[in-house]
Amino acid sequence: MRMGKIRTPFFRIVVTDARKARNGLSIEEIGRYVPGQEPSLIQVNSERALYWLGVGAQPSAAVEALLKVTGDWQKHKGLPGTEGTLRVAAPKPAKSVAYEAAVKQAMDEPKEGATTLKKKAQEKLAAKANPVEEVAAVEETVVSEPVAEIAVSEVSEPVAEIAVSEVPEEVTTTEAVVETPAAEAAAE
């Protein structure tokens, strides 16, 4: 008796009248066959299969091949090889065992650096670790370099020119001396 979805069938091994339809009324279910697994799953109730073979039931070609794999056909006919050639899939480990192994592995990982920080997060972390050194380095570069004069020229409309004189040593990084023509006119 074929069951299952399209392209993923499984079969029930049943005892039925030959005049009935394949999936019609059956007398008894004596096993299962699932060809989609590796190795294929074949389960047969040997006691019931031998009983029905003994009372005259004739297996189809497919069922006879399955009975030969399980060894039931050899038992019925009295042939050698009654143990059959059935391959059995290895038992799957319990999910709880896999879960416990994953938890144990996670416990062994280092606490810091378990995840990679984004670039900005790394910069913030570095700034928090060394805040005094970076500020001192910025002040040294600003004070040690003299500021050159900047002049704006070649503009279509006359714009006030901005000139910056050299910064005296007392000036900090937040202060700046800016002289503009408007400021010079106001001073005069």
Domain ranges in the chain?
2-77, 119-187
Where residue 78 falls among pLDDT bands split at 50, 70, 90? confident
**Average pLDDT value for residue range 101-114:** 75
Q: What is the pLDDT of residue 162?
A: 53
Q: Using the predicted structure, report yes or no on whether residue 15 has a pLDDT greater than 60.
A: yes
**What separation in angstroms does the CA of 55 have from each of 49, 51, 52, 70?**
10, 6, 5, 20
**Average pLDDT value for residue range 87-107:** 85
Instruction: Render the burial of 1-37: b for 16+ CB within 10 Å, e for the rest.
Output: eeeeeeeeebbebbbbeeeeeeeeebeeebbbbeeee
Where does residue 150 rank: exposed (0-12), middle (13-18), buried (19+ CB within 10 A)? exposed
Q: What is the pLDDT of residue 79?
A: 87
CATH superfamily of 2-77: Ribosomal protein S16 (3.30.1320.10)
Where residue 83 falls among pLDDT bands split at 50, 70, 90? confident
Distance CA 94, CA 120 (A): 43
Please list the helix, strand and coil fractions of the chain in percent, rounded to the nearest 5, in that order.
40, 15, 50
Give per-residue pLDDT as tens, 18-77.
888 878 888 999 999 988 888 888 889 989 999 999 999 999 999 999 998 888 898 888
Distance CA 171, CA 176 (A): 7
* Cβ neighbours for 18, distance < 8 A, ≥ 6 positions apart: 58
Where residue 163 falls among pLDDT bands split at 50, 70, 90? low
**Average pLDDT value for residue range 130-135:** 60
Bigger pLDDT: 172 or 84? 84
Q: Using the predicted structure, report yes or no on whether residue 157 has a pLDDT greater than 60.
A: no
- Mean residue pLDDT of the chain comes to 75
Q: What is the pLDDT of residue 21?
A: 85
SS3 assignment for 3-38: EEECCEEEEEEEECCCCCCCCCCCCEEEEEEECCCC
Distance CA 52, CA 115 (A): 65
